[in-house]
Amino acid sequence: PVIPGSKPSKIIARSAILAETNRISIETPRLHGSIALTGGRIDDLTLIDYQETLDPNSPEIILLSPKKSAKAYYAQFGWVGSGGIKVPDQETVWNGNRTTLTPEKPVTLIWDNKEGLIFKRTFSIDNDFMFQITQSVHNSSAKQVALNAYSFVSRRGIPETTGFYILHEGLLGVSEGTLSEVDYDDLKDQGQIKQNARGGWIGITDKYWLTALIPNQNENVQSRFLHHNQGPDDKFQIDFLGPQKIVSAGGTISAESYFFAGAKEALLLDAYEENLAVKRFDLAIDFGWFYFLTKPIFYAL
């Protein structure tokens, strides 16, 4: 199966997209933002605790932006199938069961493909930066269906980086306990990098901020770093494809994953590593070659 990716689009002002599209708002102690009902994607996030300048009244850091904006950066989830199965895509319009996502109240999106399959996508979020996404499919048709769940993060353009040689900014991930770091320019040369592994995680890191996809740690997944150029834009994508699941006639299947979007706070990353059993999630912070020394020194300081 081919994991969907970004398509060429006309650039529209971020504020205009947010004002003109139907959305589920996100309200947590540390995040403001929204989920687009078209596509069912997380594409609007700002960080409450971090501002653009030292002035506490300056605008919140913008982390994610909608698909057609100049600095598009968003997370998409879904299913791929074979045999002409009609699955939700980036233009599918979902119905939500409430208007606001909070740590206390998850949101469920629903879409009926009118061919016997009902898709649900439930978003939960904690008090910090971790989303849990539960996707399910109920089959009311008379035949079984095979589907694979996927998640991807797409980013338009190469962001401004510090260019500091000991600090990695770009794509990264842990597969079978081993950290991989890929620079934007290197990925442009290679086009894509694929891996097959059990669990792990993949992400895109800035100096201070991170987005990361965390699949089910007990499943074998295909993960990928991808670059493609459309018109004047470079587009970078991280994604993973889960194992095939069979939903029998009258049956239901589900797939769970996590999406981190926020600041690289060491204590918080350590807590997620322990609580979600995500190996080496703390390596989203670039502690360098002497990690075993620099991390303890960091904590001591």
pLDDT tens-digit readout, 1-43: 567 765 556 789 999 999 999 999 999 999 999 999 999 999 9
**Side-chain half-sphere CA neighbours of 253 within 13 A:** 18
pLDDT tens-digit readout, 35-75: 999 999 999 999 999 999 988 889 999 999 999 999 999 99
- Render the chain in DSSP notation, one character per residue: -------------HHHHHHHS-EEEEE-SSEEEEEETBTTEEEEEEEEEEESSSSTTSPEEEEEB-TTSTT-EEEEEEEEESTT-----TTPBPEES-SEE-SSS-EEEEEE-SSSEEEEEEEEE-SSSEEEEEEEEEE-SSS-EEEEEEEEEEEESPPP----TTS--EEEEEETTEEEEE-HHHHHHH-EEEEEEES-EEEEE-SSEEEEEE--TTSEEEEEEEEEEETTEEEEEEEEEEEEEEE-TT-EEEEEEEEEEEE--HHHHHHHHHHTT-TTGGGGS---TTHHHHHHHHHH-
Residue 201's pLDDT is what? 97
Contact 76, 41 (CB under 8 A): yes
Residue 296's pLDDT is what? 60
What tokens does 64 get? 């994610």
Residue 142's pLDDT is what? 93
Q: Cα separation of 203 and 214, whole Å?
A: 9
pLDDT tens-digit readout, 114-154: 999 999 999 999 999 999 999 999 999 999 999 999 999 99
pLDDT at 217 over 70: yes
pLDDT at 287 over 80: no
Specify burial of residue 281 (Cβ count, 10 A radius: 0-12, 13-18, 19+).
Answer: buried
R_g of the chain, CA atoms, integer Å:
19
Instruction: Count the residues in the chain.
Output: 301
β-sheet bridge partners, residue 175:
178
Residue 73's pLDDT is what? 97
Answer with the residue of higher pLDDT: 213 or 167: 213
pLDDT at 224 over 90: yes
Residue 44's pLDDT is what? 98
Q: Cα separation of 73 and 245, whole Å?
A: 29
pLDDT tens-digit readout, 158-197: 887 766 566 889 999 999 989 999 999 999 999 999 999 9
Residue 8's pLDDT is what? 54
Rounded average pLDDT over 94-110: 98
CA distances from residue 286 to 32, 51, 236, 248 in whole angstroms, order as listed: 27, 22, 20, 45
Closest listed residue to residue 185, CA positions, set 202, 163, 152, 203: 163
Residue 229's pLDDT is what? 83
pLDDT at 289 over 60: no
At a CB cut-off of 8 Å and minimum separation 6, what does 175 contact?
Answer: 195, 197, 200, 223
